[in-house]
Amino acid sequence: MSFHTQATTHEPNHNAMFMVWVLKAGVDAKPAFRALCALVENLNNSAAARFPGTQASCVLGIGHRAWQALALPQPQPRELVEFTPIAGDRHTAVATPGDLHLHLRGADFSLCVDMAMQIRQRLQAVADCVVQVSGFRYWDGRSILGFVDGTENPQGDERDFFAQVGPEDAAYEGGSYLFVQKYIHDMTAWRALPVAEQENVIGRSKADDIEMDDDTKPSNSHSALSNVGDDRKIVRDNLPFVDDATQEIGTYFIGYASTFGTVRDMLEAMFIGKPAGNSDRILDFSRAVTGSLFFVPTLDMLGEFAE
């Protein structure tokens, strides 16, 4: 089957903007949504022509409730559901509303700003923007905690394999499940830890990004619990952010996957623990304040939705 995917497997860019929108009650959002789908194609074509080689892009994801409200094709993608909280003894992966998600990438932040303004113009009458986060590349691809982020990301052709739905759900082949969380970090507590203890939390060396061997790595380290198997990966495009108004410092987690089951197993290992109670120690310093699931259709489907 031939299809054109959205830019779910582009490499992380220097700048990004993440937007979550919730449809307004009692308003027919279908005309605005059709205009948005056409806009997404236009923005991607324009970015490719104006900034070739930079992987500038705009990716649209659609939530379960919006899929129903917008009368999109049925049956819908098999694993597209309303995300529900995952609660352990000490930490909870919260669930928050989200009908539409926009992931905007650009080597120059100006492009992200311009794309966001165009999107806002199409949506502001029918939806409320409940999350808008501006992310940036921190040094050599590190999280704001100082460790390289995404070392275990699939590379090459494996990115498509792990990020995109296969022929088992033929109607949605080439699409992706998209899960996002906004994390706030307790930087004061984190910086109070000696580097050796930070490395035990992450399970990797801080300076040169080398994973600890199995005999050394703590079972509650982030790298031990966030990896649910080398044959079950997702494509992460996380970026740090700093909120000047609130002085919050955090990470916007964004993962594209061929199946949401992989993401859910990862979250359960982190938040509930493996075994239960042995939860990811990074959560002692990083608190999830949002959590939403979306489906990213192919560009071909967006073209059909725009008609």
pLDDT digit string (tens) for the chain, length 307 residues: 557 999 999 988 899 999 999 999 999 999 999 999 999 999 999 999 999 999 999 999 999 999 999 999 999 999 999 999 999 999 999 999 999 999 999 999 999 999 999 999 999 999 999 999 999 999 999 999 999 998 999 999 999 999 999 999 999 999 999 999 999 999 999 999 999 999 999 999 999 999 999 999 999 999 999 999 899 999 999 999 999 888 999 999 999 999 999 999 999 999 999 999 999 999 999 999 999 999 999 999 999 999 9
Report whether the peptide linkage leading into residue 12 is cis, meaning its omega lies within 30 degrees of zero.
Answer: no
Write the single-letter amino acid at 96: T
| Residue 141 lies inside a defined structural domain of this protein | yes
Compute the distance between CA of residue 118 and CA of residue 38 in angstroms, rounded to an integer.
12
Q: What is the pLDDT of residue 245?
A: 85
Domain with 184, as residue range(s), is 15-306
| Residue 240 lies inside a defined structural domain of this protein | yes
Q: What is the pLDDT of residue 110?
A: 97
Catalytic site positions: 149
Encode pLDDT of 233-285 as tens digits: 999 999 999 998 889 999 999 999 999 999 999 999 999 999 999 999 999 99
Q: What is the pLDDT of residue 2?
A: 58
| Residue 9 lies inside a defined structural domain of this protein | no
| Residue 2 lies inside a defined structural domain of this protein | no
| Angle of the 109-123 helix axis to the 30-50 helix axis, nearest 10 | 160
Encode pLDDT of 18-31 as tens digits: 999 999 999 999 99
Q: How many domains does the chain have?
A: 1
| Residue 179 lies inside a defined structural domain of this protein | yes
Write the single-letter amino acid at 114: D
3-class DSSP string for the chain: CCCCCCCCCCCCCCEEEEEEEEECCCCCCHHHHHHHHHHHHHHHHHHHHHCCCCCCEEEEEECHHHHHHCCCCCCCCCCCCCCCCEECCCCEECCCCCCEEEEEEECCHHHHHHHHHHHHHHHCCCEEEEEEEEEECECCCECCCCCECCCCCCCCCHHHHHHCCCHHHHHHCCCEEEEEEEEEECHHHHHHCCHHHHHHHHCECCCCCCECCCCCCCCCCHHHHCCCCCCCCCEECCEEEECCCCCCEEEEEEEEECCHHHHHHHHHHHHCCCCCCCCCHHHHCEEECCCEEEEECCHHHHHHHHC
| Residue 6 lies inside a defined structural domain of this protein | no
| Residue 274 lies inside a defined structural domain of this protein | yes
- Contact by Cβ (8 Å): 240, 172: no
pTM: 0.97
Cβ count near 128 (within 10 Å): 13
Name beta bridge partners: 213.
none
Q: What is the pLDDT of residue 72?
A: 98
Cβ count near 161 (within 10 Å): 14
| Residue 273 lies inside a defined structural domain of this protein | yes
- Contact by Cβ (8 Å): 299, 60: no
